[in-house]
Structure 1
Amino acid sequence: MLPLFLLLVVSDGYASEVSAVQPLILTVSSLSRDTVSSVVPVDREVQIHVSEEFDRIALYDSNPQGQNREPIYVVGAEHDFIETNVSLGNPDFPQGWALNSQSDVAGVHVPGEHCLPVWVAGFRNKEIVYTDCLKIHPTWMQDSKLFIGNLDVRSLFIPGTHNSGCYKRGEKLSLRDTIGRYILTQDQSVWNQLVYGIRYLDFRIGYYPTKENSSITDDHESRFWINHDLIKVRPFAPVLGQIKKFLERTTNEVVIMDLHRFPIGFNMREERHAAFVSFLERELKDLAIPFTSSQLTLDKIWTTPGRLIISYGENSIAQTKDWLWPPIKQLWGNKATMEELEDFMSKIVSNDSLQNPDKGLWAAMAQLTPGPLELLFNPKGSLREMAHKVNPNLMRWCQRSHWWRKLRIVPTDFFLETDIVNLAINANVLKSHQDTRYDTD
């Protein structure tokens, strides 16, 4: 269900910010830290963003309303941003949305947003006056169907992740993971990303031949890996399985899979591209949305069996199949400071030519870029640290009306440190109401 404040804003016809009335917002820190009591680093610690005055603020592990619950964290409300020591951990997703849920058998996957066991409450005069929770949004497109169906897929504000398959290897953050300071960009599996509400996935694919005289065919799944540039991270096939399972479990969610680059094993080897496309065709063609340069609204997509846009980073290959989309343009600033990044993002928003649907799909890459000196001489630097600088600012930037109206795909690192999914849900409803699909003002 859409927030009441959003319906009121829509009926009034315009809004300058999409989340200005949310007094408390919960996010999850990108940082990890060592502790004295454990050799395993702690990560995913909850953050609280405060935009109204309260006497105190508390965290709970369940809904505190109407029950005598003991808080798990209490703090005074004199700050507008609070970093707690309460870890989200790895909570089970409710209502049938766990990856290996038993409800697969029964087919029970309850649509709508659902709370995780982290709640925040704001107090005035010893009374709770506001509550909210960390949520999953597995069916936000379906939930907003009546509002956003008229939007062209090229005009949507789409929450995404950068290097979506570069996340930690196990349930807990390991020392091996922390050593890869400039490799990991996420802390959630691709399944989790989709259930939280991410709808754009960004991959770099490597091809790794097996030993000579092997009986494994060129298009066997074992040859294709997710890379972070030249670094081999994880097999692609299990991640593909998570995407397929999500699309099979939902009915109206549209996902964009950007096979953006092929840094290892594909250069000047068209036969390997052909093998990879053969693998994709075998696994995904039935779910793929055929490419069209014409207007393609969500309503139109929902009348077809397709739910997945597959963008292929080599245009000459994409043109050989009608179910492959051309490369998505990623707009990189390669900036080292927040001031430079904000200026770069502002120029993207001000570029009216990007609002033309004929430009196709494009993504504004909201990441700082480590330079050679950063890599060599800052032993404590990491992509986590960089995301920690960017993410709270990105939330604030995207709330500006001329930003959320004009941005399209916004991929983030450690996306739970932003409120990007809620921003996208609200922004798309407002876009639909204001009919800004082809806005160039």
Structure 2
Amino acid sequence: MNKMKILVVPFLQSILLIGSLEAHCPVYLTVSLTGKTLQDTLLEINWGPYCYGPPQWVGIYAKDPTTSNFQPDFRIDGIANRTGKLITPIKLGKLHFPGGWNRQDASDQPATQYPAGKCLPHFVASYNGTELLTVDCLKIQPNWMAQIKDVNRLPLKDIFLPGTHASGAVFGSSNKSNSILVRDYLVVQQFDVWSQLVFGIRYLDFSIGYKNMNTENEADNFWIANENMLITPLVGILRDVCLFVKRSGEMIVLDFSSFPIGFYKHPEIYSSLYRLLRQELGYEAYRRNVTKDDHCANRNIREILQQDRHILILFPTQELPYPASESTMLCPPWQRFSTSFMNISQTLDYMQLLFSKKPDSPVRDDGWIFTAVRSMEQTLNTQKLETAKKRAAVLNPKVNQWLKGPWGNNANVVAMDYFSNTNIVDLAIQVNAHKAFVMANKDYINLDIFNLC
């Protein structure tokens, strides 16, 4: 009797996943870019992409419709197209995060872990007649990385990290953020940094400006900037990041990507910012091993958490004078690619070049960041000045849809303005679960086949 071993590559799960997506029509909720205030912002129903059988009707509920026979608060009938988005009259309302995930919640009790996320009181369900097809909800996902088996073994360069561009450019209490110019054209996120992290964002992009505020506190001089204007103070955002990682145990990438105001030819200001980062983030910042290599993107989450640290800082160390320029607390920047000055057609072509990872692609075997944005200057060049929300409302659904194809499997960091009108966090979770499964099971199983002849 001969014995033969056959290596089975675990593509079966991928085939089943793709088959299930094609067999029905995914329906989900996002936050539209309407409303002067966050509470007044309207919810959106999304379906697709490429539904093979659109449902007969879809409803929005304030409670889980699987628990009882509720009537929907809003209903749409007659969905015909295979991909779509519809703004509803349902308002987001005042945000209250359950389970100890509000910033102001007491820290003496650990926050609740949510393996599959936690629904806020906004649900969407699709039906054929009275047959329930799908249910989803607007959800927070404060500890999603810890819930994906084996994802902590993947190098950071192989993980899809959902991110925000100009992460701190949020409308707030600062006088600088109260002008119409700032509110309509320079603010590019609906949710503050704390809320972004609770919803599941794991990469934050910071453009930093410096202005001497003539106070005794050095930290007061550093501001979040966007489009070369100061928006909001930096130090409070750094403290929110630290509080979140303590409460969640998750790993966050902070990218100090540009320094448009006050830094040029002033190495002492870079040094002052470095001191602030060391003061506020030092005990949570990953320390790279310079004897191993300088490529922090080759590290995995497990290696970072083994140091009992949760924040990886990207910073152009060449701008710092010695010895700060050799700080192990700072990682060299990753490759950056942006669509700032592209129209939709050019963005599609550019994404195809980047995400295909073909030999002519500029993406290399290192960490890389794709920033899907349209700048204010780009709209001026087309003689049509659009607000930041209008720009994101056009671009984000397209990029989100394209990433749901095979390109998403090659994504590293994807950063957006107004990420909240997409489901990029859910998409990243699905992609990372698949990547981790394939990595952990590449030598998955040996079948013993007996030749009985």
Task: Please report the TM-score for the alignment, with normalisation by the length of structure 1.
Answer: 0.85
1:399 and 2:401 matched: no
2:151 aligned with 1:148, yes or no?
yes
Query: In 2 relative to 1, CA 319–16 (structure 1 residues): closer, same or farther, beyond 3 Å?
Result: farther
Within 5 Å, which residues of 2 pair with 1:1-400?
Answer: 12-14=13-15, 23-32=26-35, 42-50=40-48, 51=51, 52-79=53-80, 80-102=84-106, 104-112=107-115, 113-144=117-148, 146-169=149-172, 176=179, 180-211=183-214, 216=216, 220-251=218-249, 253-291=250-288, 292-293=294-295, 295-317=298-320, 319-352=325-358, 356-357=364-365, 359=366, 361-371=367-377, 374=380, 377-378=383-384, 381-400=386-405
Q: 1:427 to 1:177 in 2, by over 3 A?
A: farther
Q: Is the 8 Å Cα contact of residues 27 and 45 (structure 2) preserved in structure 1?
A: no
**Residues 206, 264 of structure 1: 8 Å contact kept:** yes
What per-residue deviation string (whole Å, max 9, x for no partner) do you get for residues 235-257 of structure 1? 00111111000011012x11000
Question: 2:227 and 2:375 mapped to 1: Cα distance?
Answer: 14
Q: Do 2:392 and 2:417's aligned partners in 1 also have CA atoms closer than 8 Å?
A: yes
- Could you say if the C-alpha distance between residues 151 and 22 of structure 1 is closer, same or farther in structure 2, counting changes exceeding 3 Å? farther
| 2:438 alignment partner AA | Q
- Distance in 2, matches of 1:265 and 1:204, equals 12
Q: Secondary structure at the match of 1:193?
A: helix
* Counterpart-to-counterpart distance in 1, 2:181 and 2:44: 19
Kindly provide the CA deviation profile for residues 59-87 of structure 1, in whole angstroms up to 9, marking residues without a partner as x: 01111223242321111142543221212
Q: Matched residues in 1 for 2:205 and 2:395: separation? A: 19
- The C-alpha deviation readout for 1:66-125, integer Å capped at 9, x for no partner, is 3242321111142543221212133201111111113x2222333331001110111222
Structure with greater Cα Rg:
2
Distance 1:415 1:248, change over 3 A: same
| Paired residues of 1:162 and 1:201 also in contact (CA < 8 A) | yes
Moved over 6 A (4+): none
Residue 266 of structure 1 aligns to a residue whose secondary structure is: coil
**412 and 372 in structure 1: CA distance in 2 versus 1, 3 angstrom threshold:** closer
Deviation at 1:163, TM superposition (A): 0.2
- Give 5+ residue unaligned stretches, structure 2: 1-9, 289-293, 441-453
Identical residues among aligned pairs (%): 25
Asked if structure 1 preserves the Cα contact closer than 8 Å seen for 2:29 and 2:138, the reply is: yes
Q: Which amino acid aligns with 2:86?
A: I
Q: What CA distance in whole angstroms lies between the structure 2 residues aligned with 1:367 and 1:281?
A: 30
For residue 299 of structure 1, report the CA deviation from its aligned partner.
Answer: 2.4
State the TM-score, normalizing by the size of structure 2. Answer: 0.83
Secondary structure in 1 matching 2:410: coil
What residue is the counterpart of 1:419 in the other structure? 423
Q: Deviations for 1:287-325, whole angstroms, at most 9, x for unmatched residues?
A: 111234273122222322111111113534373211101
What amino acid sits opposite 1:45 in the alignment? L
Cα distance in 2 between the residues matched to 1:422 and 1:120:
15
Q: For the residues of structure 2 that align with 1:18 and 1:167, how far apart are their CA atoms?
A: 38
Cα distance between partner residues in 1 of 2:408 and 2:263: 37
Which residue matches 1:36? none
**Deviation of 1:356 (Å):** 4.3
Distance of 2:208 and 2:55 partners within structure 1: 49
Change (3 A) 1:187 1:177: farther
Whether the aligned pair in 2 keeps the contact of 1:177 and 1:184 (CA below 8 Å) is no
Aligned to 1:439: none
Task: Output the amino acid matched with 1:57.
Answer: V
Note if contact 1:10-1:430 (Cα within 8 Å) is conserved in structure 2.
no
Letter in 2 for 1:142: A
Letter in 2 for 1:326: P
Q: What is the rounded CA distance, in whole Å, between the counterparts of 2:11 and 2:244 in structure 1?
A: 31
